[in-house]
Chains A and B, each alone.
Chain A
Amino acid sequence: MNGATTAAYLARRAAQKERVRILYRRALKDTLNWAVHRHLFYQDASDLREKFEANKHVEDLDTIDKMIAAGEATYDKWRHPDPYIVPWAPGGSKFTRNPVPPSGIEIVNKGLEDP
């Protein structure tokens, strides 16, 4: 219990909190991918939230690290094979569908061959 508020401790806690937030975000998106119907999603999302809330009070850095690693392993195990990605985002269906033509190219006569 040395250095309760040293900078290193706080930096580690902050990094852990960020990892937890990103893990929660990804897990929630995954839940939305798996639970097709909205009422099922709400149920699963509150279950997930409760799992996170149950470990909220843990103070020991190493335990927290282990829990985060276990959580990330569970997330990797449950990842959806075909997640919904917004169409224009990388991985979506519309990504690079109509890329911007490179500069310096001039279309003469609307592309028609006969003048």
Chain B
Amino acid sequence: MSLRAAVLRHIRLPVQTLPAIGSRPQSQLSFLRLFSSHDDHLTKEEVIDRVLDVVKSFPKVEPSQVTPDVHFQKDLGLDSLDNVEIVMALEEEFKLEIPDKEADKIDSCNLAIEYIYNHPMAG
């Protein structure tokens, strides 16, 4: 018994005081479950993170060069057909249906983030 207590005392981790929950409002919001889908839109940061992830996982792109205001054809050196593929990947990621004319105009990360953030049905 005392051996068990000695072993436990040996491996017991020191307790750290956690920071106050109200000090980081962003994490507090992430605990909120919104049961109605009426006004839960994506936050801008979520949109930016997911868009950048999609662009970075494109095989012809160097992940280190991707920033939120990168232009697909000028900065990343992609083709116009690659542009089409990226827009399709974004459509799949956010479960959107972008009309052809609009999809043609999405040329850079900026435009993509703006469009997706302002879309009411971005999932």
A69 proximity list for chain B (CB < 8 A): none
Stretch at the interface among B2-10, B14-22, B49-57, B92-100: B92-100
Stretch at the interface among A1-9, A19-27, A104-112: A19-27
B80 proximity list for chain A (CB < 8 A): 17, 20-21
A78 within 8 A of B: no
Show 28 residue pairs from A and B whose CB-CB distance is below 8 angstroms, ordered by the A residue. Answer: A17-B80, A18-B104, A20-B80, A21-B80, A21-B83, A21-B84, A21-B104, A22-B100, A22-B104, A24-B81, A24-B84, A25-B88, A26-B100, A28-B84, A28-B85, A28-B88, A29-B88, A45-B85, A49-B81, A52-B81, A53-B81, A85-B97, A86-B95, A86-B96, A86-B121, A88-B121, A89-B97, A92-B97
Minimum C-beta distance from B73 to chain A (A): 12
A18-B104, A88-B121, A92-B97 known; 15 new pairs, CB 8 Å cut-off, are A21-B84, A21-B104, A24-B81, A24-B84, A25-B84, A25-B87, A25-B88, A25-B100, A25-B103, A29-B88, A45-B85, A49-B81, A53-B81, A86-B96, A86-B121
